[in-house]
Each structure stands twice: as C-alpha cells, then as structure tokens.
Structure 1
Amino acid sequence: MTNGGPGDSRPTRNERREAAREKAKALREQQRKKDRRNKVLLQGGLIVVAIAIIAGVGLIIAQAVRPPGPGPANMASDGIVIGEGMTAQTTAALQPDATPTPSTADPESGVVDIQIYVDYLCPFCGQFEATNSEQIAGWVNDGAATIEIHPVAILTSKSAGTQYSLRAANAAACVANFSPDSFYAVNAALFANQPEEGTAGLSNDEIKKVVADAGAAPTSSIDKCIDDMQFKSWVVDATDRALAGPIPNSDVPSITGTPTVLVNGKQYTGSLDDPNEFSAFVLQAAGETYSTSTPSPTDTPAPESTPAQ
C-alpha cells in the first residue's frame, strides 16, 4: 500500500466523512423545503376544491329552495286560447300556488270549443297535428271555432336524460308569454320538427331556431326564457294538475295520455290520421250542443253519416 506524502491533495478520511455529512444535510434540507411546498400546494388545492364543492352545493340548494315564479301570461287556464284571425286571448299570468281560471265557451255564439292537451315528444300528438292542424286553423281563422292548447310534459324522462318534453313545453310557454299570436305557428313547427321518443331531442339552440323560424318575436326575450327555463315550475305544476284532474268544462276526470282532444267538452277517441272522422266528430259535438240552425264550422266536409260515439 502506498501512503500519500506531504504533497498528496486527496481528501483525508475525516474530510470525506465531513463532506458526506454536509451533503446529506443539504439533501435533507432540500427535501424538507420540498415537503413544505407540496404541503402548502396540497392544502391550497383542497381549499379550492372545498370552495368549489360548497359553491356547487349552495347553487343546487338555492335552485331547489328558490320560490317558483308566475306562469306565462296569456295562459291563466293552463292553456292558451286562440280565436278568430288566429289571435290569442290575453290573460294575466297565473301566480304561484294560484288556481287556474278555466276558459269559458259561449254556447249562444255557435263557436265550437276545441281543447287539446299535447306533449311535444308524443308521437300520437304529432300524428294528430299533421292530420288536423290545417282544418282546425281554417275553422279558427274564420271564427267558427276556438282552440285552446295545453302543453304538458308527461314524457320528460323519455329523451335520454335531456328532458326534451319539459324543455319544449317551457319554450311553448315562453312564446305564449312574449309572442302569443305566434303560438299556433310555433306549436305546428315544434311538431313538424318533432324528435323520436327515446332520443335526446332538440337542443335549446335548435328549439330557439324552430321558434324564431315560425315567426315568434322578440327573439332575445324568448331565447333567454328558453335558456333560463323560466316557466319550468309552471310546466311541472300544469302537468300535475292535468294528470290529477278534474278537467274543467268536460266529461273527462283527468288526463291519462296525450293527445287528449275535447270538443265542446266531449272527448274525441277516434282515428288520429283521418281528418274526415275528426271533422264528423266536431259536427256531431256542435249539433249536440247547439241547435241545428246554428252554423257549424265552415269548410268542414259534411259526413254521409254520423258515426256512433
């Protein structure tokens, strides 16, 4: 073994040991600083997450406890009445927890009263609409009939989680509130663009386009109403009222499905795709309510025989 002489520059064993201790001390100090930094970051992240959770829970609670607002104007009966010239009858908005005021037909006038309860996702409603909308519009426009449309949301759970039925009924209520004379056209447009039951349905933006293309305005107010689901509470309550009954001025105790079609209080249970059968029912209902000398709806084809009901 060779021992280093006086000129040997290599560190001694003690110096190497001291250097190792200093290096270990520096590493421990570096690790302690890193641990403190990670702890601060972790605590800060947990605080941010906690704040976000609290804010989210607070928003949910606020929405849940937020008192329902009034229903749409022009639907105090839970429906909108459209008469001669396709003009909607105006009413005040139904206040929360208030009882709807049924519309009243005038038997002395000879005007036929047609009421329809519709769900915008219901394929049978779409079928009835496609078959009879044009002839109903002719009767109403000429003043021979009025039509009262009641949007309900029975099929809210049948659109892949998007609640299309509820959103579409809310959109219809928005139109009734801001552009009532456009309601019949919008109602027809929603059915013309009806999605299949079980699908996600139209997005809010797509609904807004359908509404605007049908002529409803002001679009800014209606768009905000659709996005905010302004009349969601009213739609839910109106649907519950229709399902619970009774249905005013009719022989129907409650709504069990859609479409529910009433003519002078009598329920139509005939074909959904035969306009002549429905027009015959309208004539028969009118004849039972009014004298035979009272004019029936104009432009209605006279049936060769009246089917038994």
Structure 2
Amino acid sequence: MFGSSRRRMVGCLALIPAVTLAAVACSPAAATAPSPASIDPVAGIVVGDGAVDIQLWSDPSCPHCMSLDAAVGDDLAAFVADGTATWTLHPMTYVSAKRGDTTDYSTRAAALLLGAAAAGEDDALLPLYALIQRNQVTADHSPSDEELLGFATTAGAASDLSTAIADYASLASAANDAWLGAPIPGTDQVVDHVPLLVIDGTVFEVREDGTDAARFAAAVAEAAAE
C-alpha cells in the first residue's frame, strides 16, 4: 500500500477516524510495522493513488475469486501502476471452513497479505495476492506457512515476514467478521459473498463467462473519463 504509487492501509470506507499505516508507509525512518491491534479492521489494504476507486472483497480459498483474478488481475495491476486507479483489497477468511479446509488457508494467507502491507511491501502486494489466489488448497495439497512465505519472496517482498502469519491472523479474522453481512457504503450491496468488486461506487457484475476482462477494462476507462 503506498508507493510512487502511494500505498497505504487506510479506512477509506470507514465512517469514523482510524489509526492507519500511512505514516509508517511514507516515513523512511519507520523501523517497525504498526501493531495489528492499532489497525482498523475494516480499512483494507490500499495500493496506488489513482482517481478510480476499485474495491475488492475476496477470499484466498474462493475459486471464483481465483477466476476473477485470472481474468482481470493483469489489467488491474496495469491501472494501478499507471496511476489510473487505487485498489483496496478487503481479504475475507470464511471460505476455508465452508469448503472443509482444516488448514485455515484463508486466514493464514490473509494474515500474510496484511503483514506484508504493514511492512510497507508496496510493490509486492498485487503479485503476492495473485500467487495466493493461484495456489489455493486442492484435494491433495494446502500451502504451508513456509510456502506462503515463499510466495511473498517470489512476489518481491524483502522484509522479514516470518511472524506475519501469526501476528496478523487475529486482524484477518476481525476484518472478516467486521465486513461479513455489512453493507458497502454508497451501494445497496451487502458483503454476503465473494468476490465482490466495486468500481467508483458501482458494483461490478462478475459473470465468469469470458466477458469479465473486457467489461472490467471498460468500466475503469469510463470511470476515469468522468
């Protein structure tokens, strides 16, 4: 969250002021990430500083979320990189249990994303999210904590994230509980499923019929032109 591309964790949808990661993200002198207990659980992970607001509620164990990322992930990364859009990820964690996953992949992966964001690993967040989606639990394998940390390294994270999964698991669960069943401000949509994608206040219809990529690009272009 931060960058040239300013990336930070902020409560952009929160209705009350909250402690954010902006000061840590922007200060070269910051030595440690903020305590998870000081972070607003509804804030999300914010990447970029473009005018088009893209909000995503997604779960690391949701196959439809994986399909959506495969369809629009590259375009999303490009829109963030060129300054068109700001992406806010709200990682949810309830799908692991729903699918009978006893390894709690959703919470572990969401915690790693939150920890990487808190550590200021701005450039690694989008590729890390993509790797997490691409390597979901199968009948034969669930990525271990060590493998998840390997994804972070592959994504370009240089910080020591060895304790991030344990440190940020409670925040990941709190964020899930805060959003599940809650209305998305400015829309008529309640967070009752994933993926949920909102572009400049308009809920994007995820169809998985081969049209998502083109319609996503068109929706962002339209929003940018307004």
Q: Same fold (TM over 0.5)?
A: yes
Equivalents in 2 of 1:145, 1:204: separation in Å?
A: 31
Choose the corresponding residue for 1:184, options 126, 135, 144. Answer: 126
1:223 is aligned to 162
Which has more radius of gyration? 1
2:210 paired with 1:277: no
Q: Deviations over 1:122-143 (max 9, x none)?
A: 1111111011111111111111
C-alpha contact (below 8 Å) 1:271/1:277 kept by paired residues: no
Higher helix share: 1
Contact 2:41 2:175 in 1 (8 A): no
Question: Is residue 137 from structure 1 mapped to residue 77 from structure 2 by the alignment?
Answer: yes
Counterpart of 2:11, as a letter, is S
Q: How many aligned positions are there? A: 197
Aligned positions of 1:65-144 closer than 5 A: 74-77=8-11, 90=22, 93=34, 95=37, 100=42, 111-144=51-84
Alignment of 1:199-218 (within 5 A): 201-218=142-159
Name the SS of the counterpart of 2:94 in structure 1.
coil
CA distance in 2, matches of 1:270, 1:100: 23
The 8 Å contact of residues 55 and 89 in structure 2, kept in 1 or not, is answered as yes
Report the CA distance between 1:103 and its aligned residue. 9.8
Cα deviation, 1:145-201, whole Å, max 9, x if unaligned, reads: 1111111102131353111111111111111111431211211121222233x6652
User: 2:146 is aligned with what amino acid?
Assistant: D
Q: Secondary structure at the match of 2:54?
A: strand
Partner residue, 2:29: none
TM-score by length of 1: 0.56
Secondary structure at the counterpart of residue 164 of structure 2: helix
Distance 1:223 1:178 in 2: 12
- Name the structure 1 match of 2:201: 265
2:101 alignment partner, SS class: coil
Q: What is the match of residue 152 of structure 1?
A: 92
Q: For 1:144 and 1:278, locate their aligned partners in 2 and report how far apart those are by CA, in whole Å.
A: 13
State the partner residue of 2:180.
243
Distance (Å, rounded) in 2 between the aligned partners of 1:199 and 1:160: 11
Relative contact order, higher structure (CA 8 A, sep 6+): 2
1:231-280: per-residue Cα shift (whole Å, max 9, x none)?
Answer: 122111111111132323x3044211111000001100143343112222
Q: Distance in 1 between matches of 2:41 and 2:89?
A: 18
How far residue 212 of structure 1 moved from its aligned partner, in angstroms, is: 1.1
Give the deviation of 1:91 after TM superposition.
5.3
Cα deviation, 1:216-237, whole Å, max 9, x if unaligned, reads 122xx301222xx111221111
Q: Give the distance between the partners of 2:141 and 2:101, measured in 1 at CA.
A: 5
TM-score normalized with structure 2 length = 0.75
Over 3 Å counting, the alpha-carbon distance change for 1:192 and 1:78 in structure 2 is farther
Mark the runs of 5 or more structure 2 residues left unpaired by the alignment: 1-6, 14-20, 25-33
Identical positions, percent: 26
Separation in structure 2 between the aligned mates of residue 110 and residue 212 of structure 1, nearest angstrom: 26
Deviation string 1:20-67 (CA, Å, 9 cap, x unpaired) is: xxxxxxxxxxxxxxxxxxxxxxxxxxxxxxxxxxxxxxxxxxxxxxxx
Asked whether 1:233 is paired with 2:170, we answer yes
Paired AA for residue 75 in structure 1? M
Q: Is the 8 A contact 1:178 1:217 kept in 2?
A: no
Structure 1 stretches of 5 or more lacking a match?
Answer: 1-72, 80-88, 291-309
| Equivalent position amino acid for 1:204 in 2 | D
